[in-house]
Amino acid sequence: MKTISIIVGVLILVLLGALAVVYFLGGNTLLDNNKYRAPIEYVCANGKNLVAEFGDNVARISLSDNRVITLKQISADDSGITFANDVGVSFSIKDFSGFVVENGIETHPGCRVSVVDEAAS
């Protein structure tokens, strides 16, 4: 009986570990199931670029180093909209500009929408 309890305990730990890996490495699937609007390309001051897709209270950003990060909207006011996750990445936008901060460092500064259709705004 004790052996069965140990096996069940180990299986539960393995399952929890696998779920943690999927959650932390695979992104938050609840956010990824969102319907996104057309992608918007940003060109940044340091030569980097990013592509942002916006959904309902979420943004998915594709960075120039091939990382794709899904962020939840955490604020929206006259100073703009900020999206962030719980591992230190944020994307702030206002009008046609924005920037990305990762762990307190602005990694994509001075980003501007690469093509602006002024008639659409």
Calculate mean pLDDT across residues 53-67: 95
Condensed to tens digits (0 to 9), the pLDDT of residues 72-101 reads 999 999 999 999 999 999 999 999 999 999
* pTM (predicted TM-score): 0.68
Helix (H) or strand (E) holding 91: strand 89-94
Calculate mean pLDDT across residues 3-31: 58
* pLDDT confidence of residue 111: 97
Calculate mean pLDDT across residues 110-118: 80
Any idea what DSSP says for residue 120? Answer: G
